[in-house]
Structure 1
Amino acid sequence: MKILYGVQGTGNGHIARARAMSEAFKMHNVQVDFLFSGRAPEKYFSMEAFGDYQTRRGFTFETKKGSVSYTKTALSNNLMQFFKEVTQLDLSSYDLVINDFEPVSAWAARKQKKPCIGISHQNAFRYSVPLKGANWIDKSVIEYFAPAQHHIGLHWYHYDQPILPPIIHTSSEVSDEGDFVLVYLPFEAIEDITDLLFHFNQQPFICYHPDVMESSQVENIELQPLSHGRFQHHLHRCRGVIANGGFELPSEALSLGKKLLLKPLAGQFEQQSNVATLDQLGLATSMDSLDISSVRQWLRDSHVESVTYPDVAKAIAHWVVEGDWNTQARLADKLWQQVDFPSYVSHL
């Protein structure tokens, strides 16, 4: 079997899932080629796991000071270029396209009538799960942005739907917990982040941000450029995580037993829904802005217990290779039976 795996490159969570899936497929006699879109080629980092991967422009969204900018998003995307990329992507040598919300490979698969399996957190919103702030445009994007014949959604709880638990990709590192808090707020201005954290001068922070080019120490804040390996090291050792409302980082933090303070990206229904879901489940604390009082209270909160998730990537890879792709509900039931939530989690 030869697979083209398309990955949405705008968020590092999609790439983290692809790393886990890449390792899982190595256990099978398959060739997996990777294609990424949504980010300038020079902006990708720590991509060794994907070999000779391809990039395309695809589609992306633009932000400004923690909010989606629809004007900048419209101006930065080129519909004619997208159609050209779809038309020129030759899938004749592939048996299957797997897609993590990546539109070029998804639409090329539809155009060339290749089987396509969509595996993404976004696919969970095709089912009856909590939504917050979703309008008809958002629902249309979920429906049409990256079409597939089989849709596998990933979420933190099943809500009696045929969706799967998160794909977790963390290193096997075992280390003692430090006293620092890990901060990853890539959609916020770095000046706004440091202004917030300076108020807690007795608390050390390690902050990763795409605008940081080299490591430096500014008062109680250690600023770090993006690096998958270093970030994983600090994620294992931190006492808590302050982040936006993506899916993969909170999933990794939950599996490691790290408390979470999440600030969703304004105007992005997925992040708003994610944060509301974790808040309702009792698995995270939320704040709508970079709020001093919210951070202060969260720092005082006690430690949390970890959520135990099975090896979802391994199970999906086996399911894909087996070829019986109409058994998604059975796969979901099997995996959710292996999930162990802390006793304080509110099951909705």
Structure 2
Amino acid sequence: MKILYGVQGTGQGHISRARAMALALREWPVEVTWLFSGRPREALFDMELFGDFEYRHGLTFTTCAGKLHYTRTALDNNVSRFLAESRDLELDRYDLIISDYEPVIARAAAKQGRRLIGIGHQYAFGTDTPRAGTSWLQEKIMSSFAPVDVPIGLHWHPYADNVLPPILDLPELPLENGEHMVVYLPFEDQGLVTEVLRQFPLQKFVQYSSALGNSEHGNVSCRKADVTGFKSHLASCSGVICNSGFELISECLQWRKPVLTKPLDGQMEQHSNALALHQLGYATTTSVFDVASLGEWLERPHVTADIQFPDVAEALASWLAAGAQASPASLNQRLWGEQLPARIPPPRPGPDITQKLTAIA
């Protein structure tokens, strides 16, 4: 069986999911061609696992200083090139076509009348999934960016019968509660992040970003993004400070690492993730990252979520190798089981962070 698997490369979380799926699919008699888009090819790193992968420019989102910029996003994307890439993508030789929010494959499949399976966090946003920071434009972008025929969503709670637990890309490492905290705020101004961290000299931080070089700044160790080093620091840290992307926080929940998370301003998905985390009691959310918010979090006892997610990558690989004929609802029932309550817990009492997140447009 030949599979074409498209991955949106703008965020590292999509690639982390793809790593887990690549390892799981190796155990089955399938031939997978990986296609990545949304990030300059030279900015992709640690990609050996995907072999001779395909690359397209696709579409991406432009951010600046912790905020999503729609005008710059529109200007930075070459729509005519995207249309040509999707028109020229030949799908006839593939038995299954999959998109993790990858738009070139999505448009090509629609134009060529091919069944498209979606596997990703964005496909979990049904009517019962928490939403915050939403607008008509953002809802339209989410639904039309990479539409699929068979959506399989990933989330921290079974909000619908097509929603599965997270796909995790976690190596076998000893888990420790070390002295350092991991900081990964890729959409923020890295210099400003470092300055905030340095205001707490008794706490050690390891700050990761593809925009950084390896350097030391008192209590802050800056590190250029790489998978191996990051996962090692994550396994041995005492807490994580990050934006509200889905994949990293899922890994923190699995490894029981306390999280302080700040959603990317203007990005509906991240604001919605922060709201869900607050409602579930899985992380501490903040609308700003500054000395006051970090200081307040550092002074609190860090309570972690008591949850362990199943091996979703293995279940999906088996399902795909069998032709992806069983319903997503059957996967939902198998993987969630009785692990979580049947309904979402009510919002916790405390600061009006839910109101703040919901009010951000």
Equivalent residue for 1:19? 19
Say if 2:201 and 2:218, in contact at 8 Å, map to a contact too: yes
> Does the 8 Å CA contact 1:5/1:35 hold for their aligned counterparts?
yes
Q: Single out whichever of 302-311 and 40-49 deviates more from structure 2.
A: 302-311
User: Match for residue 63 of structure 2?
Assistant: 63
Structure 1: 5+ residue runs without aligned partners? none
Summarize the Cα distance change of 1:295–1:265 in structure 2 as closer, same or farther, 3 Å threshold: same
**Structure 1 CA distance for aligned equivalents of residues 27 and 47 of structure 2:** 20
* Distance of 1:327 and 1:92 partners within structure 2: 24
Secondary structure of 2:271's counterpart equals helix
Deviates more, 1:330-339 or 1:309-318: 330-339
The CA deviation at 1:227 is: 0.0
CA contact (8 A) 2:175 2:255 kept: no
Are 1:247 and 2:280 matched, yes or no?
no
- 1:324–1:220 Cα change, 3 Å: closer
What code does the residue aligned with 1:288 have? S
Tell me if structure 2 keeps the 8 A contact 1:116–1:149. yes
Q: Does 1:111 align with 2:100?
A: no
Aligned to 1:171: 171
Q: What's 1:54 paired with? A: 54
- The letter for the 2-side match of 1:274 is N
Match of 2:141 in 1: 141
What residue number does 1:40 align with? 40
Distance 1:142 1:71, change over 3 A: closer
Are positions 1:221 and 2:194 aligned together? no
- Once the two structures are overlaid, the 10-residue window that deviates more, 301-310 or 5-14, is 301-310
Query: Structure 1 vs Structure 2: percent identity of aligned residues?
Result: 44
Correspondence 1:310 to 2:310? yes
Listed as ranges, the gaps of 5+ residues in structure 2 are: 348-361
Partners of 2:157 and 2:128 in 1: how far apart?
A: 12
Amino acid paired to 2:155: H
Give me the CA root mean square deviation. Answer: 1.6
Residue 4 (str. 1) matches residue 9 (str. 2): no
What is the CA-CA distance between 1:147 and the residue it aligns to? 1.8
What is the rounded CA distance, in whole Å, between the counterparts of 1:33 and 1:222 in structure 2? 37
Letter aligned with residue 60 of structure 2: T
Counterparts of 1:308 and 1:43 in 2: how far apart (Å)?
A: 33
- Given that 1:178 and 1:237 are in contact with CA atoms closer than 8 Å, whether structure 2 keeps it comes out as yes
Offset at 1:127? 4.1
Where has structure 1 moved over 3 Å in runs of 4 or more?
338-341, 345-348
Q: How many residues in Structure 1 have an aligned counterpart in Structure 2?
A: 344
State the 1:340 CA deviation: 6.0
Quote the offset at 1:325 in angstroms: 3.2
Q: Could you give the per-residue CA deviations for residues 24-67 of structure 1, whole angstroms, max 9, x where no partner exists?
A: 11111000110000000000011111011111111111111100
Match of 2:124 in 1: 124
- Which moved further from structure 2: 308-317 or 138-147? 138-147
8 Å contact from structure 2 (residues 264, 270) kept in 1 = yes
CA distance in structure 2 between the aligned counterparts of 1:37 and 1:324, rounded to whole angstroms? 24
Q: Is the 8 A contact 1:95 1:114 kept in 2?
A: no
**Contact 1:126/1:143 (<8 A) preserved:** no
* Residue aligned with 2:80, SS: helix
In structure 2, what is the Cα distance between the partners aligned to 1:109 and 1:254? Answer: 35
Deviations 1:190-218, CA, capped at 9 Å, x for gaps: 11101211110110000001211x31111
1:95 touches 1:115 (CA, 8 Å); kept in 2? no
Specify the alignment match of 1:203 in structure 2.
Answer: 203
Q: Give 2:52's aligned amino acid.
A: D
| Aligned residue number for residue 328 of structure 2 | 328
Moved more, 191-200 or 136-145: 136-145
Q: Does 1:272 align with 2:274?
A: no
Cα offset, 1:175, TM superposition: 4.2
CA distance in 1, matches of 2:130, 2:325: 26
Distance 1:218 1:140, change over 3 A: same
* C-alpha contact 1:87 1:108 (8 A) present in aligned 2: yes
1:177 Cα deviation (Å)?
2.4
2:281–2:305 Cα contact (<8 Å) kept? no
Distance of aligned partners of 1:326 and 1:36 in 2 relative to their CA distance in 1, 3 Å threshold: same
2:8–2:102 Cα contact (<8 Å) kept: yes
Q: How far apart, CA to CA, are the structure 1 residues paired with 2:197 and 2:322?
A: 50
Q: State the distance in 2 between where 1:168 and 1:337 align.
A: 18
- Aligned position for 2:156: 156
Q: CA deviation at 1:334?
A: 1.1
TM-score by length of 1: 0.95
